[in-house]
A and B are shown apart, each in its own frame.
Chain A
Amino acid sequence: MKWIKKCPTLTILVILGLLFTIIGIVGRFTVYADQEYDPLKAPVLSVMFTGINDDIYPWQIFTGKSSEAMAQSTEGNETDDTLQEVPASTEIPIKEQEESTIQEPSVSANSVSANSVSDNKIDGKEEEIPLERLKPLRESTHEEYLNHISADIYGDAGVVRAAAYTFDTVDASYFDDALFIGDSRTVGLRDYTDLSEHADFYCETSLTIYKVLEENFKGLGTIQDALANKDYGKIYLMVGINELGRGTTEDFMEQYTLVVDTLHQMEPEAKIFIQGNMRVSGKKNSGDAIFNNSNINARNNAIATLADNQQFFYIDVNEVVCDEEGNLAEDYTFDQIHLLGVYNDLWKQFLMTHGVLD
């Protein structure tokens, strides 16, 4: 009692500390099982806080996992969990969508040679038959998953195929019916070029492919609202860096496919521009186990395979912002990840030379 009277602050801290430790220990076996934790560096109670940061709250120990928690644990086949979330928010018959995606005929992995690419496609504009979606060459290994390595399971076949398309040069009015969806990189494009005078931007720092369809963009509403309010002719998407540390290339690709197909279904006339994620600088690349260009390239290679060069196009701004080694040019960035405000113009110019005219 003397303690409590003389040291109330210490007493409260110790009691709460013990409580949070118990939650952390119990949570390690249940809802926080997927939280990374190093006992040498942090107390076990910290998993509760990292969990809260990912919207997994302590009371879910008793009530079961949240849908977000399910989406977090992306190991293995959790397709159903992820997909079940979406119909409610998008009101799109995703189940059929999923089946069509899965049953879609695909070029077998081995047949994607340079020859088959050239057979399929010489000039996108003349091509009547949309390109087929490619299948992965292999599966990600468990070791790659554990080490947050995004496996390059598709190779560059999709990128090569998509690049064969001849894009048109357009003027700024081309973007009058364009919708840009993206993370903080796209925020830079919105804030530091005049594209926002033409196009609509639904972008937010820390956006991930898992949140795109549900996100309520500050003051704007959801993507669904955007598509309901206006007929867009083009939808540009650059999302994928924030979730680099999460799940495998397969998990990411599955969700990405779902998103682009949902967008297509909601706005069938719109051309969807899948933008390869911008790489990071050489300095960041060499010092970061997750946010590095090997992981970015692997995921870009994956999403590039979605391009059919009719409704879905793949474009890669890295062509104009990277140095000879393929890293984001040091001069264009301060934080090794984002373009300095002034260099967003390179991106805008790139987009203006990568238009698709009917």
Chain B
Amino acid sequence: MVSFSSLEFLFRFLPIFLIAYFVVPAKYREIMLLIGSLVFYAVGEPVFLLLLILATVMNYYMGMKAWELGEGYTVQPWRLQKRKQIVIAAVVIDVLILAAFKCLSAFVDTALLPLGISFYIFKMISFQADILRGEIWNKPKFKYVALYFTMFPQVVSGPIMRYNEGEFDLDRTCGLEQFEDGLKYFILGLGMKVLLADRLAILWNDLQMIGFQSISTPLAWLGAAGYSLRLYFDFWGYSLMASGLMVMLGYDFIENFNHPYASKSISEFYRRWHVTLGSWFRDYVYIPLGGSRCDKKRIALNLAVVWLLTGIWHGNGFNYVIWGVVLGIMIILEKLVYGKYLQKIPILGNLYVLALIPLTWVVFAITDLKQLGIYFGRLFPLFGDAGIAVNQQDIFKYLSNYGIYLVAGIILCIPAVSGFYEKHRKNPVVIVLLAIVFWLSVYFLSSSAGNPFMYLNF
């Protein structure tokens, strides 16, 4: 049920929750959302709900201690010092919780990674840091803080909203038009996830089924392109669903993706891809380390730290570390060496991004380093081993099976397409198309029982 693209969520949890949310008087809606969020989490992770609640209470308690030390017209230095110490202690505890569970899942059992912990712990750290920086203007109430950490649209996979962006103190208006807008974002996200990402996921599964040693070089590149699009629509689709839900409930839209594949450099790509994670690392790691206002060596070090942490954050395999390090190196080189040329010469930057990013996603995708080596051998056959039992014609088969999804994906990567939608989103034709996308998605979810592989025919 914790997946938005599941029949249980769409037809059981969501309608019941929405009715409850809008039936209760406006002043109880936050409480209703909090209850709904706890129920949502409990269904997905009954055991680790306790951890979420404990971490919430701890962060609220320490945050309030820090907040109180910063209150008043004149604040003595010792109070500021103490406030800083409390915030640091809270952040350290948060990091330790995250690190401990990451280690448990890496070395003991993957089931020991609590649902959404990477996301909600990052929210908690940002909450503490924002208190220290004085970016939270009104003293937060417990119900708002608890809601911020646990709200179901964001608790599983973000976006990593900031406390202020929730605008919890304002009177929330939940107009019909806003609900309609949110619903449309949600449907778009659902369609991207179910109709594109889940279909393209089968392409990647097919390549694994064949075995990387037996795929032709063109198919290896098609696979890399397919995986890049799959990951994008999976996560962009998810983020649109999450933000669409937030809009339906009366909150602001949180942008998490801004056409990354139209970028002209890797650093620009990561300002547009998973925006809330990138800005989190920028605000809470990169800038505190000194950011770009230092000498070249220090900038390189700061970027290296950020990207190493980004790699580790994404997963347990060593491939994620390689992925982060490779991206870090490319971004450092862009910043210090060739970035300016990419911006000056048109198209060059785009080609650079479109050629390199899929290769980095291959590193991201393949956790087994031996298999990763084989895949790169197939991508670059001149430098790697020759394949075994390769079918040189395979590309035609997979193009005919998946071409339509690849083309649709590429079209949706063009920023102008989004602009066109925004302009015409109230057009009856667009509305009918959205309804078709919704029911087509339900068709796929029904016929595959939510898992595209589960009833895959043999």
Partner-B contacts on A (CB < 8 A): 2-3, 6-10, 12-13, 16, 20, 40-43, 45-47, 49-50, 52-53, 183-185, 188, 191-193, 205-206, 241-242, 334-335, 337-338, 340-342, 344-345
Q: Indicate if the CB atoms of A192 and B210 lie closer than 8 Å.
A: yes
Q: Which residues 355-405 of B have a CB within 8 angstroms of A?
A: 388-391, 394, 397
Distance, CA A300 to CA B274, complexed state (A):
51
Across the interface, which residues of A come within 8 angstroms of B458, CB to CB? 183-185, 205-206, 241-242, 337-338
Shortest distance from the beta carbon of B142 to any chain A beta carbon, whole Å: 33
Identify the stretch in B178-186, B259-267, B308-316 within 8 Å (CB) of chain A at 4 or more residues.
B178-186
Give 21 pairs: A residue, B residue, CB < 8 Å, sorted on A.
Answer: A3-B176, A6-B175, A6-B176, A9-B183, A10-B183, A40-B12, A42-B11, A43-B12, A45-B442, A49-B442, A185-B458, A192-B214, A205-B458, A206-B458, A242-B457, A334-B208, A334-B211, A335-B453, A341-B213, A341-B214, A345-B389
Known: A9-B180, A192-B214, A193-B389. A50 touches B446 (CB 8 A): yes
Residue on B nearest A14 in the bound complex, by CB: B15
Residue of A nearest to B440 (CB): A49
Of B163-171, B412-420, B429-437, the stretch lying at the interface with chain A is B429-437
Task: Tell which of B208, B213, B442 has the most Cβ of chain A within 10 Å.
Answer: B442
Q: Determine whether B85 belongs to the interface, using a CB cutoff of 8 Å to chain A.
A: no
A50 to B449, CA, bound (A): 9
B209 touches A340 (CB 8 A): yes
Q: Is there a chain A Cβ closer than 8 Å to B447's Cβ?
A: yes
Residues on B with beta carbons closer than 8 Å to the beta carbon of A42: 7-8, 11, 446
Is B428 interfacial (CB 8 A cutoff)? yes
Chief secondary structure at chain A's binding surface: helix
The reply to whether the CB of B28 lies closer than 8 angstroms to some CB of chain A is no
B256 to chain A, nearest CB (A): 22
Chain B: residues with CB nearer than 8 A to chain A? 7-8, 11-12, 175-177, 179-180, 183-184, 187, 205, 208-211, 213-215, 388-391, 394, 397, 428, 431-432, 434-435, 438-439, 442-443, 445-447, 453, 457-458
Check if B447 sits within 8 Å of A9, measured CB to CB: no
Contact B431 A9 (CB under 8 A): yes
Which residue of B has the minimal Cβ distance to A340?
Answer: B211
User: A335 contacts B447, CB within 8 Å?
Assistant: no
Residues of A within 8 A of B183 (CB): 7, 9-10, 13
Return B440 CB to nearest CB of chain A, in Å: 10
Chain B residues positioned under 8 Å from A334 (CB to CB): 208-209, 211
A-side contacts of B215, CB under 8 Å: 341
Residues of A within 8 A of B431 (CB): 8-9, 12
When distances are taken between beta carbons in the complex, the residues of chain A under 8 Å from B438 are 13
The residue in chain A whose Cβ has the minimal distance to the Cβ of B176 is: A6
Taking CB atoms, residues of chain B closer than 8 Å to A241 are 458
Contact A7–B179 (Cβ < 8 Å): yes
Q: Within 8 Å CB of B8, what residues of A?
A: 40-42
9 A-B pairs with least C-beta separation:
A206-B457, A341-B214, A49-B446, A340-B211, A53-B447, A43-B11, A6-B176, A46-B446, A341-B210
Known: A9-B431, A334-B208. A192 touches B446 (CB 8 A): no
Contact B389–A52 (Cβ < 8 Å): no
Contact B7 A9, beta carbon cutoff 8 Å = no
By a CB distance below 8 angstroms, the chain B residues around A12 are 431-432, 435
B394 proximity list for chain A (CB < 8 A): 191
Q: How near does chain A come to B132, taking the closest CB pair, in angstroms?
A: 42
Q: How far is the CB of A193 from chain B (nearest CB, A)?
A: 7
